[in-house]
Amino acid sequence: MKQILDAAFAHPRGLLGRLGASIMARSKERNAWIISLLDVQLTDHILEVGFGPGTVVQSLATIATAGFVAGIDASELMVKQASELNVQAIQQERVQLQQGDALTLPFEEATFDKALSINSVQIWPDSLTGLKEMRRVLKRAGLINIALQPVWVRKDDEVRQIGEDLLAQLARAGFQHTRLEFKSMKPMACVCALGAK
**Where are the domains positioned within the chain?**
27-196
8 Å CB contact between 113 and 44 = yes
pTM of the model: 0.87
In this structure, of 149-158, 173-182, 186-195, the range with the lowest mean pLDDT score is 149-158
> Maximum CA pair distance of the chain?
44
pLDDT at 148: 95
β-strand partners of 137: none
Distances 122 to 10, 39, 100, 102, 152 between C-alpha atoms, Å:
9, 24, 16, 11, 12
- What is the second-level CATH architecture of the domain 27-196? 3-Layer(aba) Sandwich (3.40)
Residue 18: pLDDT over 90: no
Between CA 196 and CA 88, with CA 46 as vertex, the angle to 5 degrees is 170
- The proportion of the chain whose per-residue pLDDT surpasses 70, expressed as a percent, equals 87
Residue 141's alpha-carbon distances to 138, 195, 197, in angstroms, are: 8, 9, 5
H or E element, residue 192: strand 190-196
What is the torsional sign of CA 82, 173, 189, 39?
Answer: negative
Residue 154 is predicted with a pLDDT of 83
Torsion of CA 81, 60, 30, 4, to 10 degrees: 20
Question: What contacts 15, CB < 8 A, 6 or more positions away?
Answer: none
Mean pLDDT of 95-108: 97
Contact 86, 58 (CB under 8 A): yes
Assess whether pLDDT exceeds 60 at residue 3.
no
Instruction: Answer for the pair 141, 197: CB distance below 8 angstroms, yes or no.
Output: yes
